[in-house]
Structure formats: C-alpha cells, structure tokens
Amino acid sequence: MILASLLLMLADNPTCRPCKVSPAGIGLIQHFEGYSPFVYEDVAGKKTIGFGHLILPGERFREPMLPDEATKLLEKDAARTVSGVNRMVRVPLRQGQADSLHSFAFNLGTGALQSSTLLKRVNSGRHADVPGEFLLWNKARVGGVLRVFPGLTRRREAESEFYQLD
C-alpha cells in the first residue's frame, strides 16, 4: 500500500536533466531503509542511524534521533547520491526513472551504479532493458558468500516499477 501511494505521487512525470530526488523518491528510500532512532550495525557491520545514514568517523548523534531529524539527514545524504547519479547519467530521465536510480545508488553506492550494465542501458537509451537490470542486484556478501536477500529483492522490484512509470 505504501508503494502504491508513492507511485501515485509520480503521476505527472516530465523529463529532467539533471534530476533531483522527488518526495516519492525520498519515500521509497525511507520505506526500504527503515527508521531507527538508535545506532545499530547494518548487515555489513557498519554503524547506522535514522533512515540508513552510515555514521562516519567522528560523527555523533543524539539518541533517540527523532523522525524529522532522520528525514533531514536522509535528504542531506540523498543530495550527495543525486549529485553522483547526475554526473553519470547522460540522458534525460522521467522523475520515476531518476528516483529509482537515486534509491539504487543510495543503497549500493554510486560506485556500484557507475560500473553497472544498468547504467550502460540507461545511457544508451535502452530503457526497456533497465528494469530487468535492477533485479540482478538482490544479493549481499555475508561471511564471504553471496546470498539473495528478500528485502533487496523487494527493493529492486520497487525500483524497477518506479523506472517503468510513464
């Protein structure tokens, strides 16, 4: 249901270049990152707080972090991701396409996007091939073994759906 309401936010979907992350894109990231008012270790063992903010050396946060604070921190983090995505994407995108790429890069890093076939498909205008490329990125390495994670599968499916919005 949350995903459906986010998709409705993108009903008017003109092209952009460069593209910002929309409120629906922020909602997509929030939905899949989840919210934690307290510091925790993510699946990779990195200290995290709020909506997926990776805590950098020397950073300190008051706990519990309030949802509004977490959203502001997410918007700041997303701005860096947006900047990286905009540097790499050479074609105009619809907002849903941009938001899906921003979510992908926020989750995996802009380096993963930069070296991906997904980005090559975007930049070559092969937009019909892009949704399937998202679905290949549903694994994470745990204890040296690459494993499929259902949460990553759901996120990639949602990003794929956002990408296909008209």
Q: List active site positions.
A: 33
What angle separates helix 150-163 from helix 95-108, to the nearest 10 degrees? Answer: 150
Do you find a cis peptide bond into 64, omega within 30 degrees of 0? Answer: yes
Q: Cα–Cα distance between 165 and 93 in angstroms, integer? A: 11
Residue 75: burial class (beta carbons within 10 Å; 0-12, 13-18, 19+): middle
Rg of the chain's alpha carbons, rounded to an integer? 16
